[in-house]
Amino acid sequence: MPKIPRLLSIAGSDPSGGAGVQADLKTFSAFGCYGMAAITALTAQNTRGVTAAYPVAPDIVAAQMDAVLSDIPPDAIKIGMVATPDIAHAVAEAFSRYEARNIVLDPVLVPTEGVTLASAGLERALVDTLLPLARLVTPNLHEASALTQTPLAKTPDEMAAQAGLLCEAGARAVLVKGGDLEGEPIDVLFETGEKRIFRGRRIPTRNTHGTGCALSSAIACELAKGAPLIDAIAAAKVWLEGALEAADSLRLGDGRGPPHHFYALWR
């Protein structure tokens, strides 16, 4: 029998199930993959926003990673909320003990609503420690601005310029997500000096909580299955559009609910 792709999420916990580890595991399952998780932080959040965040001790994060990597080597790894520079260093150190591949880094820094999810100095720590290890880095407009210390991008050319700066800093490929752009949502991929634009549809829904987590996890799933990076991104975007179109049917909370990760399965 063919091996089921195995994925590891290294991220924070969202008790409402819309983002973080919970969203990653749902996405892995939606793509027919076996999901595992190492939790970096506990948060208090729901559809209205984040009210508190409590980082896990770095040695406990590393111990969780050791437990998985030493026994069930993943075919791809999604890194989300890292929370502190010390955790970033602990994650990078754990990777040095194992052969890890298809790492997708989604640099979670600030939620759309609520308290910050990153302590001081995390941007620099991500660039120094985890950026060079990733197959793909997936910042949104605000995260790309923070990581490059440049003004918020407003055009695809400015997004590509920021992605290029991150590649100069050590990233192999960067996908700057333009969901917050005015008009048509455009994502820009920069790899080996070349720019590629991915256009999408603006889905009329308020339920967009955790879309960044879902997209990066979906890309990781496709990479785990052996898809080329461009095909992995394209497939993930098609799936996410479907999940957003079905999001309102979940009827969760009175704020920004999550996309419907299992829209293709719950019929």
Q: Which amino acid is at 135?
A: R
For domain 6-250, the question of CATH label 3.40.50.970 is answered with: no
Q: What is the mean pLDDT of residues 120-134?
A: 94
Q: What is the pLDDT of residues 14-35, one digit of tens each?
A: 999 999 999 999 999 999 999 9
How far is the CA of 106 from the CAs of 116, 164, 183, 204, 263, in angstroms? 15, 17, 24, 24, 23
Q: Who contacts 57 (Cβ-Cβ below 8 Å, separation ≥6)? A: none
Residue 98 phi/psi, 5-degree rounding, is -140, 165
Q: 0.85 cut: is pTM over it?
A: yes
Describe the strand order of the beta sheet including 136-137 as a list of residue ranges: 49-55, 34-46, 6-13, 76-79, 103-105, 136-137, 173-176, 186-191, 194-199
What pLDDT is attached to residue 215? 98
**Domain map of the chain by residue range?**
6-250
Percent helix, percent strand, percent coil in the chain, to nearest 5:
40, 20, 40
What pLDDT is attached to residue 179? 85
Confidence tier at 110 by pLDDT (50, 70, 90): low
The closest alpha carbon to 242, from 188, 205, 196, 197, belongs to 205
E strand or H helix at 9: strand 6-13
pLDDT above 60 (res 115):
no
Give catalytic residues, as residue numbers: 177, 208, 210-213
Q: What is the pLDDT of residues 52-92, one digit of tens each?
A: 999 999 999 999 999 999 999 999 999 999 999 999 999 99
Confidence tier at 117 by pLDDT (50, 70, 90): low
The dihedral built from the CA positions of residue 137, 141, 143 and 149, taken in this order, carries a sign that is positive
